[in-house]
């Protein structure tokens, strides 16, 4: 009995020493892990702010894109810190990285459409084929840009409707931007019969366009014979206006041209009567 008691005491002491050694060892590991987490968190936060501020200072660099890249840097650092913390406890980091890679591949395949929209959103924000406030048109989408996001773009149609277009539908397709350049050209056609004075009709059109103050003088408006047929000739009037005034100016010039044409025809009829 005494021998058994002695063996139990010796085993207990050995177990206690082993537990004490493990406690000391893991206490250092826990302290090191906590230090890594704190330093890693502070470093990730600092680098995120530094990256955002640095990218925001770049002229023309979109704030949404700056926030995306800054956030990506933060999360990459945090993932590396977590892997290092697990390594403090003897976990095989190579297997963790392999598992993260496999998980990333699976998530990428599952979210293929979403990732495609994100990639298209990044390209749209970098290349800037359109900006907020500009009116665009594609084969499927048209409207004024309200906001460009990483996943989708918000637009307001000419009818005053809200439209949300996935970025993938706006990338790799022809886009017409009606607001990018400061001026736009408009043209009108007028048919002049053989018994009507062609030069007089040209003068009439030039008077109409020159009477409109919103028509630009550079490039100067022109009137020319566009085509000829057996019944007469077709005159074409071309002029330039500011893009923001295009709709109102072209409507007013078209109306003024119609009224002037009616007066011109009435004068011709009066002369031949």
- Give the pLDDT band of residue 45 (cuts 50, 70, 90): confident
Residue 259 lies in a domain: yes
- The DSSP code for 45 is H
How confident is the model at residue 92, as a pLDDT? 63
Cα 207-178-60 angle, rounded to 5 deg:
130
Residue 102 sits in the same domain as residue 14 = yes
Residue 27 sits in the same domain as residue 75 = yes
- Give the pLDDT band of residue 4 (cuts 50, 70, 90): low
Mean pLDDT of the chain: 81
How confident is the model at residue 208, as a pLDDT? 92
Of 177, 198, 216, the residue that ends a domain is 177
- Contact between 172 and 219 under an 8 Å Cβ cutoff? The reply is no
What CATH number is associated with residue 49?
1.10.287.1260
Residue 229 lies in a domain: yes
How confident is the model at residue 265, as a pLDDT? 84
Q: Give tens-digit pLDDT for 101-158.
A: 666 666 555 555 677 888 888 888 888 899 888 999 998 899 999 988 888 899 999 8
Q: How far apart are CA 33 and CA 59, in angstroms?
A: 41
Q: How far apart are CA 51 and CA 12, in angstroms?
A: 56
Residue 159 sits in the same domain as residue 244 = no
- Give the pLDDT band of residue 165 (cuts 50, 70, 90): very high
Residue 71 lies in a domain: yes
Residue 35 sits in the same domain as residue 89 = yes
Residue 195 sits in the same domain as residue 159 = no
Residue 197 sits in the same domain as residue 164 = no
Residue 80 scores a pLDDT above 60: yes
Residue 98 sits in the same domain as residue 10 = yes
Residue 122 lies in a domain: no
- The number of domains in the chain is 3
pLDDT top residue among 69 and 1 = 69
Radius of gyration of the chain (CA): 37
Residue 166 sits in the same domain as residue 192 = no
Q: How far apart are CA 184 and CA 244, in angstroms?
A: 9
- Contact between 83 and 36 under an 8 Å Cβ cutoff? The reply is no
Residue 263 lies in a domain: yes
The token pair that represents 171 in the structure block: 């990338």
Residue 76 sits in the same domain as residue 137 = no
Residue 90 scores a pLDDT above 90: no
What CATH number is associated with residue 249?
3.30.70.100
Q: How far apart are CA 253 and CA 243, in angstroms?
A: 15
Of 110, 142, 167, the residue that ends a domain is 110
Residue 236 lies in a domain: yes
Nearest-CA neighbor of 147 among 162, 169, 161, 126? 162
- Give the pLDDT band of residue 18 (cuts 50, 70, 90): low
Please, which residues bridge with residue 186 across strands?
Answer: 239
What CATH number is associated with residue 158?
2.30.30.60
How confident is the model at residue 203, as a pLDDT? 92
Residue 226 sits in the same domain as residue 147 = no
Q: How far apart are CA 211 and CA 206, in angstroms?
A: 8
The token pair that represents 242 in the structure block: 């500011």
HSE, side-chain direction, 13 A CA sphere, residue 130: 28
Residue 54 sits in the same domain as residue 90 = yes
| Contact partners, residue 114, CB within 8 Å, separation at least 6 | 151
Residue 206 lies in a domain: yes
Residue 243 sits in the same domain as residue 195 = yes
Please, which residues bridge with residue 188 across strands?
Answer: 237
Average pLDDT of the residues in 33-37: 78
pLDDT top residue among 188 and 32 = 188
Of 80, 110, 140, the residue that ends a domain is 110
Residue 199 lies in a domain: yes
How confident is the model at residue 132, as a pLDDT? 86
Q: Give tens-digit pLDDT for 224-243.
A: 999 988 888 999 999 999 99
Q: Give tens-digit pLDDT for 248-272.
A: 999 999 999 999 988 888 887 777 7
Structural domain span for residue 153 = 129-177
């Amino acid at each position: 009995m005494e021998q058994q008691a002695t063996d139990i005491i010796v085993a207990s002491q050995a177990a206690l020493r082993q537990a004490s050694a493990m406690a000391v060892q893991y206490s250092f590991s826990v302290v090191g892990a906590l230090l890594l987490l704190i330093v890693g968190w502070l470093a990730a936060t600092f680098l995120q702010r530094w990256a955002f501020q640095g990218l925001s200072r770049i002229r023309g660099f979109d704030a949404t894109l700056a926030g995306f890249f800054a956030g990506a840097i933060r999360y990459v650092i945090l993932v590396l810190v977590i892997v290092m913390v697990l390594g403090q406890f003897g976990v095989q980091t190579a297997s963790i990285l392999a598992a993260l890679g496999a998980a990333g591949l699976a998530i990428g395949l599952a979210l293929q459409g979403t990732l495609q929209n994100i990639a298209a959103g990044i390209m749209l924000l970098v290349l800037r084929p359109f900006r907020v406030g500009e009116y665009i048109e594609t084969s499927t989408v048209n409207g004024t840009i309200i906001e460009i996001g990483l996943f989708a773009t918000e637009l307001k149609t000419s009818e005053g409707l809200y439209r949300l277009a996935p970025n993938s539908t706006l990338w790799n397709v022809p886009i017409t931007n009606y607001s990018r350049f400061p001026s736009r050209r408009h043209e009108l056609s007028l048919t002049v019969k053989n018994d009507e004075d062609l030069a007089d009709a040209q003068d009439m059109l030039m008077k109409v366009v020159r009477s409109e103050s919103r028509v630009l003088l550079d490039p100067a408006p022109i009137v020319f014979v566009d085509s000829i047929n057996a019944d007469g000739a077709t005159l074409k009037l071309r002029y330039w206006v500011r893009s923001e005034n295009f709709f109102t100016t072209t409507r007013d010039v078209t109306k003024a041209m119609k009224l002037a044409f009616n007066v011109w025809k009435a004068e011709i009829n009066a002369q031949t009567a």
